[in-house]
Every structure is written in C-alpha cells, then in structure tokens.
Amino acid sequence: MAGFNKVVTDYSEILYGLEDGMTVVAGGFGLCGIPQGLIDEIKRKGTRDLTVVSNNCGTTEHGLGVLLVNRQIKKMIASYVGENANFEAQMMSGELEVELTPQGTLAEKMRAGGAGIPAFFTATGYGTAVADGKEVREFNGRQYIMEESITGDFSIVKAWKADTFGNLVFRKTARNFNPLAAMAGKITVVEVEEIVQPGELDPDEIHTPGIYVNRVILGNSEKLIEQRTVATK
Amino acid sequence: MAGFNKVVTDYSEILYGLEDGMTVVAGGFGLCGIPQGLIDEIKRKGTRDLTVVSNNCGTTEHGLGVLLVNRQIKKMIASYVGENANFEAQMMSGELEVELTPQGTLAEKMRAGGAGIPAFFTATGYGTAVADGKEVREFNGRQYIMEESITGDFSIVKAWKADTFGNLVFRKTARNFNPLAAMAGKITVVEVEEIVQPGELDPDEIHTPGIYVNRVILGNSEKLIEQRTVATK
Amino acid sequence: MALSREQLAMRVAQELQDGYYVNLGIGIPTLVANYVPDNMDVMFQSENGLLGMGEFPQESQVDADLINAGKQTVTTVTGASIFDSAESFAMIRGGHVDLTVLGAFEVDTQGNIASYMIPGKLIKGMGGAMDLVAGADNIIVTMTHASKAGVSKLLNTCSLPLTGKGCIKKVLTDLALIEIKDGQFHLLERAPGVTVNEIKALTEGELVANGDIPEMQF
Amino acid sequence: MALSREQLAMRVAQELQDGYYVNLGIGIPTLVANYVPDNMDVMFQSENGLLGMGEFPQESQVDADLINAGKQTVTTVTGASIFDSAESFAMIRGGHVDLTVLGAFEVDTQGNIASYMIPGKLIKGMGGAMDLVAGADNIIVTMTHASKAGVSKLLNTCSLPLTGKGCIKKVLTDLALIEIKDGQFHLLERAPGVTVNEIKALTEGELVANGDIPEMQF
C-alpha cells in the first residue's frame, strides 16, 4: 500500500515545507517526550523567525532550548519557561516575544485547532493578566474568558511506536502534549522509537490515528531526565 | 483498596440518586454499545420526565426506545431518531420535545460539558435551522455559531471491561459516544461485560480513567445488530 | 442517457487520489468503495468512530460491536484505528478528511445544500451530515438532477431546510458533473449521450456551459 | 509555634477522604502524600497526564518516560491510568478532581490568589496553576502566614499578579487554618501554642475569630 506509507528514512527530508516565519507546534513536557531529533534538524536547517508553541522551551542544551540559543525563535507560546537562562536574556532584551498561556488552556487550544473549533470559553485565567483583551462572558452564573485555538503550519511530535500508516502509540507520560500537537499541525511529522507494520497495533489501542500524521521517521535521540529523583527508603 | 472500589452487584442500587426530571446522558450509536441493562433498570424504576441526551433513541423494542414507549422521556436531544415509530407519534402530539443536534456538535457538547468548557464555536450548522437563536461570529473570515455544552445529572455508559476502580476499556465501534457520556455526567454509572482487578488494564491503554466513573456493574444484555449485512461474494 | 447508480459511483471514484482518507455517506456514496482503482489505496472513515472501514463481513465475522455510520456490520482493514465520536468529528470538522461524498435533495447556486429534512414528513435528524458539509473542503454531492416529474433539484435557492450554507463546490448528478462558483453552476462534464440543452432544461439555477463540454469517460 | 513543613502536610492530610482524587502542587503540597491515613485510599493526579502517581522510583525503576508535573521521575500505583494533557486538564477544569493543594505568595479576603509571578523577577509562567485554581471546587492553599520580616501574606487585596480570582476558600498557613467567606478571613484553627492575637497581628485582611478557636490536633 504505497498510498499510506509515511515513513521517511532521511532526516534531511522530514522537514520539507518548513519555512522561515512559520508556526511550529511541538509535543513534550519538560524534556519528557520531546522530538529531539526533529528539533536538531530544525537547527541544522536553520529556519528562522519561528513562532513555537510548546508547553516548555527546553533547557539551554536540550529540547527547544537549542533553537532559542541559535536565535531561531521569534515568539514562544508556552505555559512554563523556567529552565532556560538564555530565555530570560532574550525576553528581557525584547528579542523574544513570549505569550504565557495556562497549561490546560494551551492543551485545549491545540486540540481545538485540530478539531475545527476556532474558540472556546474557559474559567481559567478569568480575572488575571491572561484575560487582558479577551472577551468575558457569564454562563450559569460564572465568569469565563474566550480563548482562540492554535493551529500550526508544522507540528513536531515524539511517539513510541508508529506503523507505516502513521498510526501512533505513546509510552507513559511521554504522551503529554504529543497527540494534541499531532492534531494541530497542517503538516505533522513524527519521530518514533520503533516502526512496525500496519496491523501490528491493535485498532482499539492507537492513541493518534494516522490521518493526523504526514511523515514518520525513526529517531535515535537519548531520553533525558530533568529531575532524576529516587526513593530514599 | 476500599476507597476506589466502584463495583455494584445489584441493579437495584446502580441508579441511586436518579430522580424525576433529571438529565440523563447515554452512550451508544444506534443499538451498538448501548447500556441496555441500565436502560431496562430506568424502566423498572419508572423515573419520569427525563431529558435524555443520546445520539439516537433506539428502536421500539430496544435501547432508549423502551423508555419512550413507557412515556418516561420528556425531552430528547439527539442527532438521528429515525428508527422508532413511537417517536414520531409522541413528537407530533407535542408530548415529546425534541432538540435535533448535529452528531459532531453533540459529541463535542458532551466532551465540553465534562471538560469545564461552557461553550465553543463551530462551523457546523451555520446558516441552518440549528443556528436559530445562536450567536454567529466570524473567525479568520469564516462564520461559526456558538454552541453550549451539555452536562448530565446522570450518565449511563456501556464499556467492554472495567477494573474495580472504574477504569474503562471499550471494544471496537461500541466505543462511540460512551467515553464522552462518561465525562459529562455528575454521576456516571457503567455496565460492562467483564470486571477485572486493578493492574490488569495497561495504564497506557485505558480509554476512560476511573475518575469519571462512580459505579460499575456487570451486565448481561444481548448485543443487538440493527443492520446485519454480510459480504455477497 | 442518465447515469446508473453504479456509473455515478464510478465517476466519483475517478476523483479519488492515492492516500486519500474518504468519508462516504449512505446510499450511492457507499458504492464508491467498489470502484477504487487497483493502483490506488484509500481509507474510508466512518463517523461513528472508525478509520479504515473494510467490506461487509463474512457470516463468521459478523460482530455487533463493529458497525458503520449506517449501522451495518462491517470489517476493518489492516492498519485501521478506532476512536470515540468526539475524536471522529475532530477529524471531520478539523478538515483532516480528504474527500467527503454525500447525497442531497437539493443544492443551489450559492453552494447551499438541503439533504436531511422534508417538512411535513418525519424528521429523522441530520446525523453527521451538517458536520460533514461544514468540515470538509473537498465535497462531492451525488444526486439525481431532477425529480421523476422533471422538477430540477439544482436551484437558485434551496427550498428545503439547509444542511449547510455555502459549502458545496462540486455536484455529480445522473446527467452532469457541475462546479458551483461565483453564484453559478458551471457544467464540467455531460453524462454520455446527454446534451447541454437537456441539462440546461433540467437546471433551475443559472448554468454556464463554456465551450465544448466533454462526455464523462468510464 | 509555627508549623513545620511536615506539620503543614500532616494537617492538610486530615482533609483527605477515602476515595479522593487529589492534585498536589510542587513544594509542601507534595509532602501530603507521605501522610495519607492508613485506613484510607487516595489517588494522586499529576497534570502532565497521570492518575495514580506513586512514590519515587528505586534506581532500577527510573524511567525517563514517567515523570510528574515537577518533572521528577515517579512510579505508578496499581490501577493507574495515563492520558494526554487535554484529557488531564479536562479532569481538572471539569471539576472531577476532589481536592487540590497548592502553594501561594498571597491570598486575599476576596478569595483571590497570587502564586506564579513576582514582577521584576524572572517570569517562569503559570504552568497548570491557573487551571487548577479555576477548575477545582475544593482547594487548600498552603503558605507561610507572613514573610520573615513580618509582612502579612493574607491581604485585603493581593498586590501581585493574580493566578485566580475569587476561587480560594481555605488556606492553611504555618500559623492558622482559615476559611475565606463573605469578604473576610475566618479563623478555624490555631497552630499549637499560637494565640489569636498573634495571628491577627500578622493578618492584614479582616480576620474574624468567633468564640473559642481550637488548636490543631496532630
């Protein structure tokens, strides 16, 4: 079945269509479940002026932080960016534009973008700086703000397994924002640990159906741990 | 772990808290994945004046149709109600109030209700009778209507397997609206084909986490087929 | 001569492309699955929660838990996936389905479609039709060009309650393949043996037929 | 005497009920997990997508794919489930979590909370805190009652940017357990050996202390 084979074997082909100034939506939480190989390829390719949507922005050396250090990011939409010293400097100098977004709102914005919902109401952020300039409306006696959805020109995703049709399975909490990023991208590319044949994944156990996925590549990035914490007893 | 054991052994206890005039959200698509045992118990209990939210309303003899025949439903919110002769008569006589809702909007309304989103915008139904009385708004040059979410006082759900903590797994297209109904209910009760011990379901493969589920009961209803269609060659 | 149901399906199948995800409505659209070209792979989405719908099952394969949006028992193809209704309509409403094929009672020159309700008759509901027409960029409506009494179904303004507003660009009838553009019907192809004038006579809305209009090829 | 971090956690643990789903913020709230009564089962939700968070792993169990919202390696308990971030916040924002415990810089008599940003210092972001305070009915804020310099953190009006508006009803400080109601702080319990007057002196917002205020019991 040639029509649905989404496997790309060379990293140099995986980002075809990514251009300066585009919006990139990335999966991952901290350094968990991040598409490091795809991030490294964006660095190699040197695409600039990117708007990047991701819960975090990596560290100075890992994750999206490498694109920050390399001055490829113009604007960052994230919920928490505390792990990157470079971030502060670029933000303070006005070089980097930052839109802090509550984590749940960010997740919902990605899903909504993928699902054809241009905006939704949420109580999160009502009465805070997040609500500035946003419509407030009452439903059933409670105040909500209107949040608009996010779609990406490109989404970069890390999954555990993919079949060649792009059906994805995630592993443990490396799932996080990845299925949502997959939905939100006009073009969605995925780095995986294992590529299997169609039929090897149980249809009932697929987390992200292949319809959201354009390309799949076998990655080989090391998995990193930000806070290695072990039992003391 | 007594605290999370949600298994109820007697149908007479499963509907505790269901009262006349409440809103009941039900899973199922046609007769596929319907909680027939729970529906039968609502009939036995005789609860009246119900607002029922479900994609369909069963047939005269099966599914939610039995509650319709028994005059227990005051209002029906559904996308397609063609399989029930009794329905037409009650609707025409004004006895039954009907709110036809596009299937995707209905699914999204249930999810939104469960997710704390009171309203969202969708292109579905713009310019049609569904949009009557609803706000229209333009986003990126396209017209959308605002739809409010649905929550139920009670949700009735059919799953394949549950563990005793109420974690659910669905089988094939019997999944349909069931995970959404599970989210939307203030009280959610579930009929299953098999109850297993906690730990027997892989955490990565659970479709509905137990946090949405209040009670689980082992059902024994026969699965019905509306359109038995077999290959001709 | 007017196209048969099978010919309608065959002509729609010519619009398929390799790797397309396709949603087929009930009736004629369902038949399209029988005419997928051999050198092409397409996957069928069924809005009740299945991507990769296969053929009807053998007796021994019949499974009450595996049905399509028409509530018929079906099978899955290799590489299929199953999901809940919200996810299914996220695909549809988010524009991820490449082609949607569905029937209609009427369409008009503004791209409006009426397909779910005839006032005075039983209201069965719109099911997923409103979502499908609002969510897809690429829609083909299949319908008969006119009633048996010769009353056109390609109108200036739909007379029946709308399923969707301004969302239809392509219509295949038993007489013609038509594009809706700039408030007009544009004739692209004729059914074999049917003349432009015959089509015009059965089209209420303004029909533009520029140059030589080719016959459909099968 | 002011409560220790451990005592704060112990007092919060007294608010747990059998069968509760609980989200614990970073810092003191995390310690609550150590004081769940033996006769009680609770499940911890971690907003990065885990219900049923267990203890820190043994060396041999460490898994880069299994972390909590503080990015620490963790384990799962029997009966855990894992899901994406949208589903995780559907639980939180939909009000399905029974109890949320989180820290704060300031709270005020209107139930406002400031916990994520000190202007002039590095802005790290609100993470999931705004979702948690807006989504939960039952929230306990744990914090120190005043700064080391004796400046109250229980104010008439929060001075720092808000995390949430009008959403906090219960605050446990190192000196007192307080309910916020009708635009006032209501003193419910005192830390052992701390007087009502000492608490009043360190509370900027109006503090109501009706009748005999009991000491906390551990």
**For position A1, what pLDDT does the model report?**
44
What pLDDT is stored for residue A233 in this prediction?
65
pLDDT tens per residue, range A151-202: 999 999 999 999 999 999 999 999 999 999 999 999 999 999 999 999 999 9
D18 CB neighbours in chain B (<8 A) are 2-3
* Mean pLDDT of all residues belonging to chain D: 95
Within 8 A of C44 by CB-CB distance, chain A residues are: none
3-state secondary structure of D120: coil
**Cβ-defined contact of B179 to C63 (cutoff 8 Å):** no
Q: What is the pLDDT of residue C181?
A: 96
Alpha carbons B91 and B75: distance in angstroms, whole number: 10
Instruction: Name which of C76, C81, C93 is nearest A209 (Cβ-Cβ).
Output: C81
DSSP characters over chain A: -GGG--B---HHHHTTT--TT-EEEE--BTTBT--HHHHHHHHHHT--SEEEE-S----SSSTTHHHHHTT-EEEEEES--TT-HHHHHHHHTTSSEEEE--HHHHHHHHHHHHHT--EEEESTTTTSGGGTTS-EEEETTEEEEEEE---EEEEEEEEEEEETT--EE--GGG-TTHHHHHHHEEEEEEEEEEEE-TTSS-GGG-SB-GGG-SEEEE--PPP--SB------
Nearest-CB residue to C58 (from B130, B170, B231): B231
Candidate list C6, C15, C47, C215, residue with the active-site label: C47
Q: Give the tens place of pLDDT for each residue, A74-109.
A: 999 999 987 777 888 888 888 999 999 999 999 999
Q: Which residues contact D121 (CB under 8 A, 6 or more apart)?
A: none
Q: Which residue of A has its CA nearest to C38?
A: A1
| B111 conformational bin, left if phi > 0, alpha if psi -120 to 50, beta if neither | alpha
* Mean pLDDT value across chain B: 95
What digits encode the pLDDT tens for the residues D69-119? 999 999 999 999 999 999 999 999 999 999 999 999 999 999 999 999 888
* Chain C residues touching residue A1 (CB < 8 angstroms): 41, 79
Q: How many CB atoms lie within 10 A of CB C144?
A: 19
- Cβ–Cβ below 8 Å for D93 and B117: yes
Chain B's closest residue to C122, CA to CA, is B88
pLDDT at B50 over 80: yes
Q: Which of A33, A91, A102 sits opposite D126 (nearest CB)?
A: A102
B87 shares contact with chain D (CB less than 8 Å): no
The percent of residues above 70 in pLDDT, for chain D, comes to 100
Distance from CA of D19 to the nearest CA of A (A): 23
Structure tokens at A112: 């909504």
> Which of C21-35, C162-176, C181-195, D95-109 bottoms out in mean pLDDT, i.e. has the lowest?
C21-35
Which entry of D47, D87, D179, D215 is annotated as an active-site residue?
D47
Known catalytic residue: C204?
no
All domains of chain C in start order, with CATH: 5-208 (3.40.1080.10)
**B103: chain C residues, CB-CB within 8 Å:** 47, 85, 89, 126-128, 131
What are the residues whose beta carbons fall under 8 Å from the beta carbon of B208, sequence distance 6 or more?
B157, B159, B167, B168, B170, B178, B179, B182, B183
Residue of A nearest to D90 (CA): A104
Q: How far is A101 from chain D (nearest CA, A)?
A: 7
pLDDT at D120: 78
Residue predicted with more confidence, A117 or C121: A117
Torsion from C-alpha of A212, A215, A217, A221, nearest 10 degrees = -60
Closest partner residue to B209 (CB to CB) among D19, D83, D92 is: D83
Residue of D nearest to B116 (CA): D94
Residues 6 or more apart from B107 whose CB is under 8 A from it? B55, B177, B180, C84, C85, C86, C88, C89
CATH of domain A2-218: 3.40.1080.10
Write the residue in B121, B140, B172 that is nearest to A204 by C-beta. Answer: B172
Contact yes or no, C with D (3+ CB pairs under 8 Å): no
Contact A171 B118 (CB under 8 A): no
Does an H or E element contain B105, and which? Answer: helix B103-115
Give CA A222 to chain center in angstroms: 18
